[in-house]
Structure formats: C-alpha cells, structure tokens
Amino acid sequence: MTTDRVWATRRIAAPADQIYEIVSTPEGHVLIDGSGMLTAAVGQGRPTAVGDTFDMDMDRRPLGDIPNLTDYQVRNTVTRIIPGRLFEWAIGGVNTPPLGHVYGWEIEPDGDGACQVTNYCDWTGIGEELRSRREWPVVPVEMLERSVHNLERIVTEAQEKSS
C-alpha cells in the first residue's frame, strides 16, 4: 500500500523567519539532509519566486538504493512559496520537466516563539506512466524525520552561537 504524501513534523523553538532562512536556501538543504546524498549547492542565492531554479550536486552511493548511480546534478524548480511560511520545489527545470512530485517545508508559528515545521514529499501529480514503473513513494518518512531533526539541531546551534 502506498500513499501520495509522506511527511514528518516537529516543534522547533525558533521564529518562523529563522527557520525559513535555512530551509529556503540550497546550502541549507545540504546541511539538513545529513545522508551524504546532497553534496553541494555552491554559489546560489535564495530562490524568491515560483519558477526560480536551483541546482544540487548529488551522490547516490551513500544511500545504496540505486546501483551504479554516483555523482550527478539535479535542477529544482520552486513550485510554491510563501516567505516565512512555505517553500516547495519540484525536481526538474527549464530543459527537464518536473516528474510530478514535490518536496516542501511548511512552517506554522505556534504564537509562543516556536513553530510546527513539516517536511513533506507529495506524489499526487505523478502520472500513471511513472507510477507503473515503480512503487511510490520512494522517499521513506524516516528520511523526512531525519531532516526535521537535523533542522532543529542547526537552528539550536545557530541560537547558541548568537547568545
């Protein structure tokens, strides 16, 4: 049995703007990932609008899930953005159409200086042709849980340095 959306949520004791600053930068994605799969996103600014693109250098070897897939680069396109609250992107860019799935970060302030932060993958837009080739979802919830845990660690370390 599969689902079209998987997610992990964590309450992080930080303001939404601080969290958003990290999750909306390509370099932040590399720091958050922690699997060794995302290796670099050098020299790129923060995407600020739907349609903006950013590139990620990848290495699938640390995951061991796709034989013979080593170093490669992925273009990503921002699909939805609400500064301070939501950052969502799809794999694909100008010359490579998105595959139909999106990744995202939702940030919901609690009103007490903390936020509920959700990292998700959504396969709703994947067509039957791609679905027939493999079982979806391909990103386990454990990867998303690791990402929100790593984000919390990064935010906490940044707060400690500024104190």
Task: Please give the Cα distance from 2 to 108 (Å, whole number).
Answer: 27
User: 3: closest CA among 147, 143, 100, 141?
Assistant: 141
Enter the DSSP assignment of 64: T
pLDDT of residue 99: 67
Structure tokens at 27: 């370099």
Task: Please give the Cα distance from 77 to 115 (Å, whole number).
Answer: 26
More confident residue, 138 or 35: 35
**pTM of the predicted protein model:** 0.85
> In which band, very low, low, confident or very high, does the pLDDT at 74 lie, cut at 50, 70 and 90?
confident
Across the chain, mean pLDDT equals 85
pLDDT of residue 98: 64
Give the residue extent of every domain in the chain: 5-162
More confident residue, 65 or 80: 80
CB-CB contact of 58 with 76 (8 Å) = no
Alpha-helical (H) ranges within the chain are 16-23, 26-33, 128-131, 141-162
Q: Going along 50-156, which residue ranges are E strands? A: 53-59, 71-82, 86-91, 102-109, 115-122
Structure tokens at 52: 């903006």
CATH architecture type of domain 5-162: 2-Layer Sandwich (3.30)
Q: What percent of the chain has pLDDT over 90?
A: 44
More confident residue, 133 or 27: 27
